[in-house]
Amino acid sequence: MQSIEGHLPSQSPLHAILAPSGIAVVGASSDPTKRGYKAMVGLIKGGYGGEIYPVNPKATSILGVKAFASISAIPGTPALALICTPAATVPDLITECGRLGIKGAVVLASGFGETGEAGAALEARMMANARAHGVRIIGPNTSGLFNLHHRVNLLALDNLKTGDIGIVSQSGNMLLSLALEAQHNGQVGFSTYIGPGNQADIGFNDYLRYLGEDEHTRVATLYVEGFRDGRQFLDAAREVTTMKPVVVYKSGSTEQGQKAASSHTGALAGSYRMTVDLLRQAGVSVVQYSDEILPVAEGLGRLQKSEGKRVAVIADGGGQATIAADRLAEAGLTLATLSRDTQVKLEALLLPQASTLNPVDVAGSSDANPSLLAECMAVVAADANVDSVFLVGMFGGYSLRFAESLLGDEMRGAESMIELAHSSGKPLVIYSLYAPINPPALSRLHEAGLPVYASIEHAVRVLAALGERGEYLAKCAVQPANLPMQASRNGQAILTNAKEQKRNLLEFEAKGLLAEHGIHVPDERWVQGSDEMEEVARHFGEQPLAMKVVSKDILHKSDAGGVKLGLVGEAALRDAYKTIVANAQYYDPGARLEGVLVTPMVEKAVEVIIGMLRDPVFGPVLMFGLGGVFVEVWEDVAFRSLPITQADAESMVSQIKAQKVLEGVRGAQAVNKQALVLLLMRISKLVDAYPSIRELDLNPVMVYPESHPHGYAIVDARIILEREE
């Protein structure tokens, strides 16, 4: 479904900007407090190989480099201009850049769209000039960028190690924080950094695609405060995550939904949790805490993925083995069940007091012989039940703690682990309590691309991200086609009719539209007068009936006294009809009544809610959750961007935390999950086929065990249409 052309490296305008043949520094300065000074220092000290053109009308040279009075005075054509001058000067400078043939500009100044109306107008003027002259803009209000493999460093950050982590961060402080953490760690390096700023031109999705294409980047890492176009970002993410890991930290996890909404679905939309669900659906590794960003990026960059979530733990101390087991379980990983063969091999290696169940506790076996740990890792890595290996304890510190003479054996152990990492293809994740002081064996592991963590918690986050990524890729590989649905003539007629009357669908119309596309709806009769009740009573026979008012003006039928339950026989129907009409008129004398809907009472069962809305940032989104008190109290719901695949639908159902309710609690039978999955997929297709549906709310839907003929009963359905203003 996605175009493939966009992948060709030559297509991204960012390649020329991020690996420029020459750079103009507009506002270059000799004053050490100015950004125009820092950028010059960064380029010179960083060893940038292209031409540097400082632009400053008051200087003939800056830091020993010949300066130019204006952009137009530059003799050659730099590929990139770094603009360090105030906001007001920018629009004209962009025009000047364009005339000289400069293809990209990094605009540092703030004072644009982020400050209000005047700034927004300035930003619009800048963009008009940029478009007119074919200049692409990074920023404005960006902290800058670097591309270490091309020795471009516009930030003048010292001590950056060149590596494979690409970063896009909406916060300059966050980039600085990651850089300092990496410097302290000593082993983690970066490829590219870009501050997107206001994203007036180039946005997150473009930056992500660039990192996906960049050969030096093995993991794309993004710090996001808000998406400009979430839908496009999801498209880009879907493309990139199949090639390399994408790590996102999204801030604003506790913000409440932006706006009061007209439905349950709406109330939970626009939220952090919705964003997280949609990102994960696109294969993104979402990290929850800011101090996990770098460890997870490092681990995913180096190890990429594991085939699954079954982890073997090798520990040299019971306490930390227990902590590891706790954290693995909390993260949704499982302790691999080691085969009998594996256990026998471990028993042969270890002292009798060792535990060869997972977590394996060597219990002193390695005290005089730390390379034994590498042997144990090799044994468990060879077990087909194991997806990844987690070493927990004091490896690297044996020579410090026990005897210096153990150093040789520790270094041999490290070499064995490095070999094992290459030969087994299974990720090895290492936690060592000696990591903070980076002794030789750990330094060697790091150097060879095996990440070593100082926190069990961080190591487990990495194992979880590896497993989730492996499962995602496996799912992508077998994704069955979800054929689209065609709008039907009857369906179109229902919508057209409502639109002509400038209203949303009435309940029976909404259900009619669902039925039109193979979705089971209860048998029901739309009745517009008391005199029809004889026929209705005959039609439904002895079963107890529900009666609901039909009116485009009454949204909350129960509140209006517009619902009567448990009706049997013609007399009861006539009575109920009278009462409902009276109640509705009393509730809203101006309401236009369109009669009532009569339908058999549905059997009580597990209540779920299925909703769709068009999110202003992410476009059409489907929500599924447990209904009733569950959605109100626990907000136990799942979101997916539409359209969904079968795997998406299945994962929505299995994501519900109260699985027990679906699987049968208090003696109830399990619900028919397959029917639920099909229903979710049909709703997805239906919404796709009728773009004028703005919101859909099936609430409640009763879900039944497999023995039930339809699997579910849609008790109420609301469909809200796009307003055509």
What residue ranges bind a copy of itself (CB under 8 A)?
32-33, 115, 169-174, 176-177, 180-181, 183-184, 223, 225, 251-254, 289-291, 316-320, 322-323, 325-327, 329-330, 353, 368, 393-394, 397, 401-403, 433-434, 436-437, 454-458, 628-629, 632-634, 658, 660-661, 665-666
Contact 266, 631 (CB under 8 A): no
Is beta strand 606-615 parallel, antiparallel or unpaired with respect to 693-703? Answer: antiparallel
Contact 324, 456 (CB under 8 A): yes
Listed residue (654, 657, 634, 656) closest to 646, CA to CA: 654
Listed residue (275, 215, 223) closest to 248, CA to CA: 223
Choose between 18 and 392: whose C-beta lies nearer to a copy of itself.
392
Choose between 169 and 504: whose C-beta lies nearer to a copy of itself.
169
Choose between 237 and 433: whose C-beta lies nearer to a copy of itself.
433
Q: How far is the CB of 376 from a copy of itself (least distance, A)?
A: 17
Q: How far is the CB of 296 from a copy of itself (least distance, A)?
A: 14
How far, in Å, CA of 162 to CA of 183, rounded? 11
Choose between 326 and 419: whose C-beta lies nearer to a copy of itself.
326
User: Whose structure tokens read 């227990």?
Assistant: 322
Q: How far is the CB of 178 from a copy of itself (least distance, A)?
A: 9
Choose between 66 and 660: whose C-beta lies nearer to a copy of itself.
660
Contact 243, 220 (CB under 8 A): no
Choose between 454 and 678: whose C-beta lies nearer to a copy of itself.
454
How far, in Å, CA of 576 to CA of 517, rounded? 32
Choose between 235 and 298: whose C-beta lies nearer to a copy of itself.
298
Q: How far is the CB of 159 from a copy of itself (least distance, A)?
A: 9
How far, in Å, CA of 126 to CA of 132, rounded? 10
Contact 290, 221 (CB under 8 A): no
Q: Give Cα separations from 129 to 93, 110, 134, 223 (angstroms).
A: 9, 18, 8, 29
Q: How far is the CB of 233 from a copy of itself (least distance, A)?
A: 18
Contact 696, 479 (CB under 8 A): no
Write the DSSP assignment of 399-444 as a string of letters.
HHHT-GGGHHHHHHHHHHHHHHHHHH-S-EEEEETTGGG--HHHHH
Contact 603, 702 (CB under 8 A): yes
Listed residue (384, 313, 372) closest to 348, CA to CA: 372
Write the DSSP assignment of 116-148 as a string of letters.
-HHHHHHHHHHHHHHHHHT-EEE-SS---EEEG
Q: How far is the CB of 124 from a copy of itself (least distance, A)?
A: 20
Q: How far is the CB of 434 from a copy of itself (least distance, A)?
A: 6
Q: How far is the CB of 318 from a copy of itself (least distance, A)?
A: 7
Choose between 330 and 419: whose C-beta lies nearer to a copy of itself.
330
Compute the half-sphere exposure of residue 722: CA atoms within 13 Å on the CB side of its CA.
Answer: 11
Q: How far is the CB of 320 from a copy of itself (least distance, A)?
A: 5
Choose between 242 and 322: whose C-beta lies nearer to a copy of itself.
322
How far, in Å, CA of 95 to CA of 70, rounded? 12
User: Whose structure tokens read 């709008």?
Assistant: 487
Residue 390 CB neighbours (<10 A): 32
Q: How far is the CB of 150 from a copy of itself (least distance, A)?
A: 24
Choose between 330 and 347: whose C-beta lies nearer to a copy of itself.
330
Kindly state the DSSP code that residue 19 receives in the 8-state scheme. S
Q: How far is the CB of 1 from a copy of itself (least distance, A)?
A: 34
Choose between 401 and 539: whose C-beta lies nearer to a copy of itself.
401
